[in-house]
Amino acid sequence: MTLDLDTARAAFECSTDFTVGLEEEFALLDPADLGLTSQFEEMRDAACSDPVLADSISGELISSEIEIRSGRGEDLAAATAAQRERRRRLFALADERGVALGATGTHPWSDYREQHIIQTEHYRRVEEGLQYVAWRNNTFSLHVHVGIRGADRAVLVCDRLRPVLPLLLAISANSPFLDGRDSGLHTVRTQIFTKSFPRCGVPDAFGSWQAFASYIDFLVRTRSIVEYTQVWWSVRPHFAFGTVEVRICDAQTTAAESEGLAALIVACVAQAARDLDAGVPFEDQPRRMIEENVWRAVRFGLDGELLDLERRAPYPAGETLERLLSWCAPARAELGIDASLPRLNGAQRQRRMAQAGVGIGEIYASMVAQSRDTYAGVLGSTAEVK
């Protein structure tokens, strides 16, 4: 994507509030041993015979990863319905090609040194610019786009979402294992991506489109970036779509979790917009304070404590979902959003299994089976996730 700030601003001025786009990343696996397999190009070429799938899949850095996109839905229900159909087709294609699909934030043991960067201009640029930082980033995540009308409004919604990001991260944590061992973290994906990539993680509060555009212009003029997708913040205004894109979350093992988390994100973006429109008082928190919560989410997920930044006091991270649901209740009611999630997230379930003596290979096999059963369209209720 090239950089044209005037065109980007125009995209927001004609955007529509609360349209939704979903992007889910999956690991491509050898079904024999569940290791990563470099078959993206094969999958992409095979998808050409399916016009729906051909327009919906994308490569993501390494050839053992694939992304499926819903496209623009006029609301969450439309985007979810589109994504379900695309997932069904993706899993059917994977079956035909002898590929399994995984949906955790990292692969638990495959060696990053054996993965290959896909051959596109964008990812060649990423590899050339970042080297080890790019090679090490074998990660999988969920991205949610929500339409916001008005460029200044989009920037201010992003500002209001900054302290929400660590809470969403804790809820989504689903990557405790890496390099064949327990990382000691609940989302090691965040550590190797968000903490390594430049222009990543929690952005500054900009306060206006002018301030935001001035910074992007600075990056361009100093040859720090040549395309906007080199800005990898955990929340960002998306130039092409006129959306606020939330990018903080691990990939989710089941379809129900992915849909529930996406619903929660849409509700949070909508509530931030409604609060802004209503003039609800808001004070931008320093990045250093928000980063304290990011670390707590990375290390302990929902099993630790997070910080109430207004009260400057800790609270049990297990209360996080309830707190977010309470805050965004008006938006959920207005938009008819059900953000149901299981009692334990992916990292917690994997850790409980490990504590019971189950090996990493068996744990991952269980997660892959859950993904196949739910994303392929066989099952779908959060009640199935214990």
Q: What is the pLDDT of residues 51-78, one digit of tens each?
A: 999 999 999 999 999 999 999 999 999 9
Rounded to whole angstroms, the Cα distance separating 198 from 194 reads 8
158 neighbors 244 (Cβ within 8 angstroms):
yes
User: Residue with structure tokens 């054996």?
Assistant: 114
Task: State residue 384's pLDDT score.
Answer: 44
Strand-strand pairing, 243-250 and 305-308: unpaired
Q: State yes or no: pLDDT of 176 exceeds 60.
A: yes
What is residue 382's DSSP assignment?
G
- Each residue of 34-47: pLDDT tens digit? 999 999 999 999 99
- Distance, C-alpha 24 to centroid of its chain: 7
Secondary structure element (H or E) that encloses residue 270, with its range: helix 255-278
pTM of this prediction exceeds 0.85: yes
Reduce the DSSP state of residue 203 to 3 states and report it: coil
**Residues 246, 382, 355: CA angle, nearest 5 degrees:** 90
pLDDT band at 380 (very low <50, low <70, confident <90, very high): very low
Beta strands 232-233 and 200-201, pairing class: parallel
Q: Return d(Cα 83, Cα 69) in angstroms, integer.
A: 7
Tokens (6 digits) for 173: 């944590």
Maximum C-alpha span of the chain:
57
The total number of structural domains that make up the chain: 1
Kindly indicate the confidence band of residue 381, based on its pLDDT and cuts at 50, 70 and 90. very low
> What percent of the chain is predicted at pLDDT more than 90?
91
Angle at 38 between CA 33 and CA 40, to 5 degrees: 120
Q: What's the domain range around 122?
A: 5-384
Give me the CATH number covering residue 182: 3.30.590.20
Measured from the Cβ of residue 222, the count of other Cβ atoms closer than 10 Å reads 8
CB 186 within 8 A of CB 198: no
Burial tier of 384 (Cβ tally within 10 Å: 0-12, 13-18, 19+) = middle
Distance CA 338, CA 256 (A): 11
Instruction: Name the DSSP class of 241.
Output: T
Average model confidence (pLDDT) for the chain?
95
Calculate the alpha carbon distances from 287 to 5, 164, 166, 294 in Å. 25, 12, 12, 10
At 210, phi and psi to the nearest 5? -60, -45
Average pLDDT estimate for 132-146: 96
* Chain-centroid distance, C-alpha 217: 26
**Predicted confidence (pLDDT) per residue in 314-340, tens digit:** 999 999 999 999 999 999 999 999 999
